[in-house]
Amino acid sequence: MLSTESVLESAADQSCIRLEPLVNTHLSGKTTTTGASCDVFTDGSTKVTANGVHDIEDRILRITGYYGYNPGYSSHRREDGSESHAETPGSETSEESRSYQTCTHTALKVLGGLLLVLCVSSSWVGTTQVVKLTFQSFSCPFFISWFSSNWNILFFPIYYSGLVVTTREKQTPIQKFRECSKLFGEDGMTLKLFVKRTAPFSILWTLTNYLYLMALKKLTATDVSALYCCHKAFVFLLSWIVLKDRFMGVRIVAAIMAITGIVMMAYADGFHGDSFVGVALAVGSASTSALYKVLFKMFLGSANLGEVAHFLSTMGFFNLIFISCVPLILYFTKVEHLGSLSSLPWGYLCGLAGLWLVFNILVHVGVVLTYPILISIGTLLSVPGNAAVDVLKHEVIFSVVRLAATCIICLGFLLLLLPEEWDSVTLRFLATIADKKTEEHGEELTDSSIHTRSRSRANGTVSIPLA
């Protein structure tokens, strides 16, 4: 094979193309008696056929360096049926394999996200319904909230176990715990930082759960889960005010829709009685949840999964050590009557705490493994899930006002899931569609004009364009 340098040198030295004279005396189209072609060799040692086309094409292709030419690669040879394999660069193969791996990874991520959506929705529906069942025999919401929050201690051990199984972690649990404790600072976790950082989040966590449970005593599971979805609107408003996030008109509209749904839900049974109190408790739970998330984003926004697991386990320890006095105070003041330990519904309590823990694990792990929007959709799907259970099992009849309020809140929740660049993306998409329609219309006009001209010529008429 001729190298690229030799091709360039031959092209530069030769000012014209010199063709070797053909020795063959037979004219084209004439054949010998035997039907064989007469082969003659020139000084370039290139084999030619009787008509000389092979030799001419080879010389032209060699001089011009056409597409990495190989000697003897001509149309005549291709017609003879000899196979020629174009050299495929390794970069193209690597790009194809890389794109295939990217598509496979994206598909698996989406499928895993959809499965995670179902798990998140099912765990949240199960938690809400088990709370309703627990209240039938044990009506102590703060004790239930405190008992369930203690299970957050298991968050870091579960994370470390999963890490060992998936990556064969070499560090001991204590070493990994100390590494993740850098979330509190370069010096690690001290008693002062432990109280300073953990106390506000632990109090907000406990208030969110307690108000949610209190709301379930007053309202149906569907109403409480729908009102809790308003926390997304409160997160946007607080982030806009506190974190100076980008202002988006569509999210303001979504926040207004959430507030409208809250007012309609309170108005459903009149602004009095347990319904109004239940709505206020559910909105309070959504507000404390939004404040917790905004503060978490402000102070711990760059935390990875290990640091989040460490932080949640630390909150569990804080809840067990410092907040244990509150259930005792409520017990001695007879605000919550616990009874004897043997009379407590441990099955419901452990099932409730386990489902709550699973929900929190799925939410925090799902944000890392898949798309965060899918986790939000899983929380939203708990509304129709609870509605199905309420209708089929508890035979709840929803009024038109409550259904309208629930639909408005859910629609506002979906609007809050729109990305920040949704408007520019939508405009580009519409512009692309308009351009395609214009091109198709222009092609149709061109085809019709060509067809008209051909018919005119066939009929003997000539169309003269106007000046």
pLDDT one-digit tens code per residue, 165-213: 888 777 888 888 888 888 777 777 778 888 888 999 999 999 999 999 9
Look at residue 59 in the predicted model and tell me its pLDDT: 60
Look at residue 42 in the predicted model and tell me its pLDDT: 41
* pLDDT at residue 356 tops 90: yes
Binning pLDDT at 50, 70 and 90, where does residue 443 land?
low
Inside any domain, residue 128: yes
Binning pLDDT at 50, 70 and 90, where does residue 244 land?
confident
Q: Which domain holds residue 140?
A: 111-426
CB atoms closer than 10 angstroms to residue 147 = 19
Q: pTM for this structure?
A: 0.71
Q: List own/partner pairs for 389-395 with CB under 8 A and 24 or more apart.
A: 389/125, 389/129, 389/221, 390/220, 390/221, 390/222, 394/220
Average per-residue pLDDT in the chain? 77
* pLDDT mean over 317-322: 93
335 burial (CB, 10 Å; 0-12 / 13-18 / 19+) is exposed
Work out how many domains the chain is built from and give that number. 1
Look at residue 123 in the predicted model and tell me its pLDDT: 94
* pLDDT at residue 31 tops 60: no
Inside any domain, residue 104: no
Inside any domain, residue 343: yes
For residue 360, give the 3-state DSSP assignment.
helix
Higher pLDDT, residue 222 or 16: 222
**Cβ atoms of 300 and 311 closer than 8 Å:** yes
For residue 436, which amino acid is it?
K
Q: Could you give the percent of the chain with pLDDT greater than 70? A: 73
Inside any domain, residue 379: yes
Inside any domain, residue 465: no
* pLDDT at residue 11 tops 60: no
Look at residue 405 in the predicted model and tell me its pLDDT: 93
Inside any domain, residue 45: no
Look at residue 455 in the predicted model and tell me its pLDDT: 52
Which residues contact residue 293 at a Cβ distance below 8 angstroms, ignoring those fewer than 6 apart? 231, 235
* pLDDT at residue 142 tops 90: yes
Look at residue 126 in the predicted model and tell me its pLDDT: 95
Identify the CA nearest to 372 among candidates 380, 381, 364: 364
Inside any domain, residue 130: yes
**Cβ atoms of 149 and 359 closer than 8 Å:** no
* pLDDT at residue 66 tops 50: no
The predicted-structure confidence for 208-242, as pLDDT tens digits, reads as follows 999 999 999 999 999 999 999 999 999 999 988 88
**Cβ atoms of 220 and 131 closer than 8 Å:** no
* pLDDT mean over 360-370: 83
Look at residue 298 in the predicted model and tell me its pLDDT: 85
Alpha helices in 80-172 (DSSP H): 90-135, 141-150, 155-167
CB atoms closer than 10 angstroms to residue 329 = 11
* pLDDT mean over 337-348: 88
* pLDDT mean over 127-145: 93
Higher pLDDT, residue 369 or 31: 369
The predicted-structure confidence for 89-99, as pLDDT tens digits, reads as follows 555 667 777 77
The predicted-structure confidence for 71-123, as pLDDT tens digits, reads as follows 444 444 444 444 444 444 555 667 777 777 778 777 777 787 788 889 999 99
Inside any domain, residue 452: no
Higher pLDDT, residue 398 or 28: 398
Phi and psi based region of residue 29 (left: phi greater than 0; alpha: psi -120 to 50; beta: remaining): left
For residue 41, give the 3-state DSSP assignment.
strand
* pLDDT at residue 331 tops 80: yes
* pLDDT mean over 305-318: 91
